[in-house]
């Protein structure tokens, strides 16, 4: 059999902690580190029995699936599937295995990197000190401030725990969050999104991108946020109306934003978010740490081994095709 690993731009598979030899013991393995043309991509996948997808870097369209004549298992690193035409995958009865939980710690840590950098104005102060100045600045404590968490899944729960350790007041809202679940995590329950936005000095997004959450935050939501509020998004860019966010930041409706994700990645060089001093941007690195890469790749290898060697599919996102 043959396994293809796509989009390993960082050469993460070469880490000694990644169990590639385990995979090579029962499969030919081809690893690619570049961004191929559509035709080259089809050629690489035409005889693959299994493919490991590195996050959302390759879109699985009907056309691409048609070229995968031998495919028996799709192994997705992480759990995000916005890049997958799941209806077409299901139509072809191809099992899709995910690796849940691998990036929880990494995304949580970046969330607090944004919280701390924004509350202490670190990027601006760093630039001024580098330029020879010694500016006077008053930062903001996290302790005693209210953090509103949108989405109380694994990442949201971990963020809540760290926030409480900082002494923050934590409230949460989610499309399916209940009072009972919030109580179980020891956080306040916001009955509506609007209630959370009105109360929070920091708002952080940790929901999946699905049709009901696309453009979840729009102009009317930014209008009711506190003027001293900061928004952090380490989830998906499409959760926000970026045009409305730019307007809110330019007009002082909110204090600032920390964004690891954008609607278009990389953004247009003239995107207004790149010009705003009250915005901190990072290039979708929330999940990208050494431990996360190892966890995702080893989890995918385990999923492939379980499927082909043991005949025991695991972590299948579409079990109805089995």
Supply the residues annotated as catalytic. 236, 265, 284
Per-residue tokens: 299: 């989890």
d(CA 277, CA 21): 47
Q: Residue 275 has which token pair?
A: 């010009």
Q: How many CA atoms lie within 13 A of 196 on its CB side?
A: 27
The kind and range of the H/E element at 51 are strand 50-53
Q: How far is the C-alpha of 3 from the C-alpha of 73, rounded, in Å?
A: 9
CA distance linking residue 85 with residue 319, whole number of Å: 16
Nearest to 72 by CA among 316, 241, 272: 316
Cα 151 from chain centre = 13
- Starting at the edge strand that comes first in sequence, how are the strands of the sheet with 202-205 ordered? 188-189, 169-173, 146-150, 202-205, 230-233, 256-259, 279-281
* Helix segments in the chain, DSSP class H: 20-24, 38-45, 62-67, 86-91, 104-119, 122-130, 154-165, 179-184, 193-199, 219-224, 242-250, 290-308
User: What are 51's strand-pairing partners?
Assistant: 4, 74
Beta-bridged to residue 28, according to DSSP, are: 2
How would you label 9-20 residue by residue, b for 16+ Cβ within 10 Å and e otherwise? eeebbeeeebbb
């Amino acid at each position: 059999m043959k396994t293809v690993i796509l989009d390993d731009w960082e050469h993460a598979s070469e880490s000694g902690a990644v169990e590639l030899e385990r995979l090579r013991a029962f499969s030919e393995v081809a690893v690619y580190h570049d961004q191929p043309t559509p035709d080259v991509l089809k050629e690489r996948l035409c005889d693959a029995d299994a493919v490991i997808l590195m996050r959302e870097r390759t879109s699985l369209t009907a056309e691409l699936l048609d070229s995968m004549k031998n495919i028996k298992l799709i192994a997705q690193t992480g759990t995000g599937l916005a890049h997958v035409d799941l209806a077409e995958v299901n139509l072809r009865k191809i099992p899709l295995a995910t690796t849940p939980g691998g990036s929880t710690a990494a995304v949580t840590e970046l969330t607090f990197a944004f919280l701390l950098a924004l509350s202490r104005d670190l990027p601006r102060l760093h630039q001024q000190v580098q330029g020879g100045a010694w500016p006077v600045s008053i930062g903001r404590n996290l302790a005693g401030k209210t953090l509103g968490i949108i989405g109380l899944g694994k990442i949201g729960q971990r963020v809540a725990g760290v926030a409480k350790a900082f002494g923050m007041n934590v409230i949460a809202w989610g499309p399916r969050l209940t009072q009972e679940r919030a109580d179980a995590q020891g956080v306040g329950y916001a009955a509506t999104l609007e209630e959370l936005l009105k109360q929070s000095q920091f708002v952080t997004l940790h929901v999946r991108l699905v049709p009901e959450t696309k453009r979840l935050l729009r102009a009317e939501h930014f209008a009711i946020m506190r003027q001293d509020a900061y928004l952090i998004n380490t989830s998906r860019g499409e959760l926000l109306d970026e045009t409305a966010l730019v307007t809110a930041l330019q007009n002082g409706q909110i204090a600032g934003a920390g964004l690891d994700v954008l609607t278009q990645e990389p953004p247009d060089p003239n995107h207004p978010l790149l010009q705003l001093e009250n915005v901190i941007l990072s290039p979708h690195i929330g999940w990208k740490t050494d431990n996360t890469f190892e966890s995702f790749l080893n989890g995918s290898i385990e999923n492939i081994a379980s499927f082909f060697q043991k005949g025991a599919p695991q972590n299948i996102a579409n079990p109805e095709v089995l």
